[in-house]
Structure 1
């Protein structure tokens, strides 16, 4: 896992400014998980402590009820909202192909934000983009 995950992390804006040493620390902290198609990785309303998912391979759909809000693939992530605000999951995320994720617990992400404050700016930027996208999807 380590080399593939580190190379992918380098291309993710959230982690692109990290040194090789820090990327290795992230990968050592994280766990790799695989999900077959049709698996609900997170469910709306859940309060899981497993917070942040970086997609290494595969594709997922973010769903609110029967509405598909977005599709995410390799290099993209989800679960950051529950990490940041401690609230229940705001949507379902379902694997649509065999999907492999690098998973970080909420306390690990909070420690990363404390150590690397720039990661918070990247999270804010991504959350803003997703909020706009969701608003547009729900208004259609």
Structure 2
């Protein structure tokens, strides 16, 4: 069931990524986001492919896989797809719906434009990106 504009703004406001945004910014984000229902087993992102969208998990869980191995399970409030969009490199992992999902999808261009105008959002995305890089390095070191 798709949300009305005001309900979508309220939903986005509750997501940790967007909690510092103003009402005006939240309306802008809501206008850019495409709300989607996703069935379990659906691949949102494929490792090695170019990035075209950024996803925020509203409800449900996704499995993050690298080289076929599950490296994380993320739930509501999480976001995926930012690395390829920011680095302009291929996707670093595959993301699959582990449960029925509701996601907000934002196109790559819109996402980068949004970050350029909202410094508080840049900071949150940068912190998450740094945490993910640290986790990747720890995983690589454990394999060595």
| TM-score of the two chains, using structure 2 as the length reference | 0.87
Matches within 5 A, 1:1-140: 1=3, 2-49=5-52, 51-138=53-140, 139=142
Please list every run of 5 or more consecutive structure 2 residues that lacks an aligned counterpart in the other structure: none
Q: Bigger shift: 62-71 or 90-99? A: 62-71
Mapped partners of 1:62, 1:39: distance in 2: 12
Please say if residues 56 and 102 of structure 1, whose CA atoms lie closer than 8 Å, have aligned partners that are also in contact.
yes
Q: Secondary structure at the match of 2:121?
A: helix
Mapped partners of 2:108, 2:135: distance in 1: 24
Mapped partners of 2:78, 2:6: distance in 1: 18
Q: 4+ residue stretches of structure 1 with deviation over 6 A?
A: none
Please say if residues 17 and 77 of structure 2, whose CA atoms lie closer than 8 Å, have aligned partners that are also in contact.
no
Please list every run of 5 or more consecutive structure 1 residues that lacks an aligned counterpart in the other structure: none
Q: How many residues align?
A: 139
Q: Secondary structure at the match of 1:14?
A: helix
| TM-score of the two chains, using structure 1 as the length reference | 0.89
Mapped partners of 2:20, 2:102: distance in 1: 23
